Amino acid sequence: MVIMNWEQVALLVGVLSPLVGVPLTVISLYLRAIREHQTVSLQEMAHRIETMESSVRDLLKASADFEREYTTKEEWVRESMLARQGLERLTEIVTRIEAELENGQSLAAEIGRSTGTMVEIVRQLSMHRQANGSNEKQ
């Protein structure tokens, strides 16, 4: 068995380090290039998927518009009747609101007249008390 001293070990490491270092450097650079390529590929794939999703949405919208343009007469009549019923309900609501506003205005006018009458009664009472109060003092 040969025992190596530190000088021999240092010489051996100095000779073997280029033999190990160069392949390790090449391997690490190769792995780095693979990782960058995967990253770029994933970004391109995500962009393609987004483009496809956008195209599918546009296609769905165009097909819905196409169906809308070529509805049958029965569907058109049914939709027209539904719209007419909605307008009739809206007209009824507006009429009811107008009637309630008119009733509110007449009620406000009646309250105003009642208030005016009460004020007049209070004036007459105060005048009557003043007249009776001045008569009692005499």
For residue 85, the tally of other CB atoms under 10 A from its CB is 10
Query: What's the pTM value of the predicted model, to 2 decimals?
Result: 0.37
Between 103 and 11, residue with greater pLDDT: 11
3-class SS letters over the chain:
CCCCCHHHHHHHHHHHHHHHHHHHHHHHHHHHHHHHHHHHHHHHHHHHHHHHHHHHHHHHHHHHHHHHHCCCHHHHHHHHHHHHHHHHHHHHHHHHHHHHHHHHHHHHHHHHHHHHHHHHHHHHHHHHHHHHHHHHHC
Q: What is the pLDDT of residues 61-73, one digit of tens each?
A: 888 777 666 667 7
- Give the separation between CA 126 and CA 106, rounded to whole angstroms: 30
What average pLDDT does the structure give for the chain? 83
Report the share of the chain in percent with pLDDT over 70.
Answer: 91
